[in-house]
Amino acid sequence: MEIKRYDDKYLDSLNELLKLCFNVQKKGNVNSDDVELVALIDNRVVGYLVLNRLKDGISDESYYYVNYVCTHPDYRNQHISTKMFDEVFSICKREGISYLELTSKPSRVAAHHLYHKLGFQVRETTVFRKEIL
């Protein structure tokens, strides 16, 4: 298994994973400040995550918002997400990123266990969203 930056040659395989995990498909490229990582086994995408680079307007700190963390069900419990996050932590150190944030549905118990194991802490907040279009 290897962790790489996303390349469009993985699009079909990635879309299979995204459809399976989130019922979405990748429609375009992310912002140039963002990072997409894929976990590959035999050139098949079995893990994925996106780092959206943001800047806190008050503290002026750069941070990444972590999106679309997923592992193919046939490959779970093989530490794929842990290895992807190891790469994320290396990227953050190289780029001077202050912190990471993510949200996760209450039903994703296994993911929550991973996040706790990796040192993430639950913040006391509620996420609000308003659909515009």
Q: 125 lies in a domain?
A: no
What pTM was computed for the model? 0.91
Q: 129 lies in a domain?
A: no
Q: pLDDT tens, position by position, for the chain (133 residues)?
A: 999 999 999 999 999 999 999 999 998 887 888 999 999 999 999 999 999 999 999 999 999 999 999 999 999 999 999 999 999 999 999 999 999 999 998 899 999 999 999 999 999 888 888 899 8
Q: 35 lies in a domain?
A: yes
Residue 86 exposure: Cα atoms within 13 Å on the Cβ side: 9
Q: 130 lies in a domain?
A: no
Rounded to an integer, what distance in angstroms lies between the CA atom of residue 92 and that of residue 112?
21
Angle, helices 80-95 vs 109-117, to 10°: value is 50
Number of domains in the chain: 1
CATH number at residue 16: 3.40.630.30
- Determine the structural domain holding residue 105 and report its residue range: 2-117
Q: 123 lies in a domain?
A: no
Q: 127 lies in a domain?
A: no
